[in-house]
Structure 1
Amino acid sequence: MTALTLNLHSAIELTDERFEQICQSNRDLRFERTATGELVIMLPAGSDTGRQNCELNGQLWLWNRQNRLGVGFDSSAGFTLPNGAIRSPDLSWIKQERWDSLNTAQKRKFAPICPNFVAELCSQCDRLTDVQSKMQEYLDNGAILGWLIDPESQVEIYRPNQTVEVKNALNSLSGEDVLPGFELDLQEIWA
């Protein structure tokens, strides 16, 4: 089963305020809004995907704590992208200067910013083409590095103006110059 997408255009316009009301009224559900105003209801991750997400988040958190170059976010954080979509990557990171440029009110809502780095961990309920489209959307809106991690030991690396790089059976992934010095230990993800 994949995420459920509802087209509400004929019934209501899904403004920022309405989207926020829907999220607040249904706190047990996860939502995203596409650039065209469709409401996406995200299914909960399976237990193993949750374990993998925890490992992914933990490794970035530790690196960020030691280096203090920016701010990291888990999948519960939503961002309003320049195209109007509100997305919640599984893992994201924003350079400190960019985060600091937002005011307090912007930070408390779905911050109007595209993260510098995003990662999506493809779960069994995700349609790969949907997640690949989301990764491209992040790049189109300002991300400079993205990882799509497939549970079958494949990683797609997304960079602006470059062909997607597909790697199989990697032991680690470099954060390159976006996350300097960060190496994701994939063996812990695949375990």
Structure 2
Amino acid sequence: MNAITLNIPHLTSEGFVELAQANQDLQLERAATGEVIIMPPTYPWTGKQNSGLNAQLWLWNRQTGLGIVFDSSTGFTLPNGAVKSPDATWVSNERWETLTSSQQQEQFSPLSPDFVVELRSSSDSLEKVRAKMREYIDNGVRLGWLIDPKTKQVEIYRPGQDVEVLQSPTTVSGFDVLPGFELDLNQVW
């Protein structure tokens, strides 16, 4: 199952919000160029892996209280105008509190998360997911992980640094963005 891209001329940010609200059963993203991307539901195996990943991040955050964890159905409006829904997302309390209204917190929040994860499913093109990771970093995300269960590879994205590639790691560190967090990949593979 592949994503479907729709070109809807003159679709504004407000129009995209209306489209998403009218089609809540669909997972939609908006490219910076304005195209609407309709993504299929994940296969059960991918959903299981994603749940394990989110659970570990959520438990770490509950212990530290440093921010807020979001799941794959949460959209964020990046500075380039794209609305993206990473598989797992974390935003520091400090950055979340900069949002000036409840509307900014209730719709597609206009901020780049501090941390994102994309978990590559069997239907994902590696180049498309890598492009998405570069877009996150180019728009202010401080740390991103591209996890590929098929190859047991993790690509670590950070601003101003080359992509670091780990082959078959058992854990991956949150560095200074997620202090003390280590993802146990045995729960994801």
Q: Could you tell me the TM-score, scaled by structure 2's length?
A: 0.97
Matched residue type, 2:102: T
Q: Secondary structure at the match of 1:72?
A: strand
The separation in 2 between residues aligned to 1:60 and 1:139, in whole angstroms, is 20
After the TM superposition, which segments of 4 or more aligned residues of structure 1 sit over 2 Å from their partners? none
Alignment of 1:36-185 (within 5 A): 36-102=33-99, 103-152=101-150, 153-185=152-184
1:134-183: CA deviation from partner (whole Å, max 9, x where unpaired): 10000000001000000121111001011111111100000000000000
* Superposed CA offset, 1:45-90 (max 9, x none): 1100000000000000000000000111101110000000000000
Tell me how large the CA RMSD over aligned residues is: 0.8
Q: Distance in 1 between matches of 2:74 and 2:24?
A: 13
Superposed displacement of residue 26, structure 1: 1.2
Note the alpha carbon deviations across 1:20-41, whole angstroms, 9 max, x for none: 1111111111000000000000
> Residues of 1 paired with 2:148 and 2:11: CA distance?
31
Partner of 2:3: 3
What is the percentage of aligned positions where both structures have the same residue?
58
Distance 1:127 1:156 in 2: 15
SS in 1 for 2:188: helix
CA distance in 1, matches of 2:14, 2:80: 17
CA apart distance, 1:7:
1.6
User: Aligned pair 1:19/2:1, yes or no?
Assistant: no
Q: Which amino acid aligns with 1:126?
A: D
* CA distance in structure 1 between the aligned counterparts of 2:105 and 2:170, rounded to whole angstroms: 35
Compute the displacement of 1:108 (Å): 0.5
TM-score (ref. length: structure 1): 0.96
CA distance in 1 between counterparts of 2:156 and 2:2 reads: 23
Corresponding residue for residue 186 of structure 2: 187
1: CA distance between counterparts of 2:88 and 2:14? Answer: 25
- Report the more deviating stretch, 128-137 or 20-29: 20-29
Gaps of 5+ in 2: none
Superposed displacement of residue 98, structure 1: 0.6
